[in-house]
Chain A
Amino acid sequence: MHLPASAVRSLMLTLMLKLLYFARLREALGVSNEHLVLPANVSDVAGLMAHLAGRGGAWQSQFDGSTLIRAAVNQVLVASSATIQADDEIAFFPPVTGG
């Protein structure tokens, strides 16, 4: 089947996650945000963290469970068992320290 380029583009976009990193985590990774195609075997936050840890280096040390990381899906704090789907905005950050 042949799809016009615009349709391919919008199809790609619908499979994307927007990832954000904050504070100490952002500095450790050297990245504040990225777009990632939803990996086929990832359905929840814990799965995404394992996927990111698989990148090695700082990604592994930050996401392998040895560092306390909080997650938000679409700007709501969630547990690592929270499900994710394409088009979600997912943020990772250290425990908060405002006030």
Chain B
Amino acid sequence: MVKVQHEDFDAGAEIASMRLSRPDIGAVAVFLGQVRDINDGSSVVKLTLEHYPGMTEKALEDIVAQAVKRWHIFDALVIHRVGTLQPMDQVVMVAVVGAHRAAAFDACEFIMDYLKTQAPFWKKELTGSGERWVEARESDNLAKARWDQ
């Protein structure tokens, strides 16, 4: 399941909902991303996330479908917030449920690596010296590329 939303979310409740969806789940792998108060040496006061309504949801659903096809997992949840956020706010959550941990860990990392390079979101930071768009990182492209080998 994929959710793109302005509102905050209750990570504990989301994990419980995934965990209790079926009794043969033995592993729940979770990534939770939050806004940092520093980036590239500047203090970050606010972070604004823009997205492409329609395509963003489709891209995330496609990434989840690829993960479910590639690993022995039961399901995956992606929640990504948009709009204006502050340091320590939750930005993104990925939760993967499966029988065993290895597939759940791998699928969770795969989903994050693809999300960061394929899903249409853009971050703009407000720092002490003004606004700036966040630059895409080559390290994210490399992280995604390792799954293509």
Contact = CB atoms under 8 A, between A and B. Distances in A.
B52 A72 contact: yes
B122 A96 contact: yes
Contact of A99 (B59, B116, B124, B133): B116
User: For chain A, which range describes its interface: under 10, 10 to 19, 20 to 34, or 35 or more residues?
Assistant: 10 to 19
B135 interface: yes
Contacts of A22: 50, 52, 120, 122
A24 B118 CA distance: 17
A28 B123 CA distance: 16
A75 B116 contact: no
Contacts, number: 70
Interface residues of B, number: 28
B19 to A, nearest CB: 23
A96 B133 contact: no
A94 B120 CA distance: 9
Interface of B: 33, 49-52, 54-55, 58-59, 80, 91-92, 112, 115-124, 133-136, 140
A-B CB proximity, top 3 nearest = A98-B121, A95-B136, A23-B122
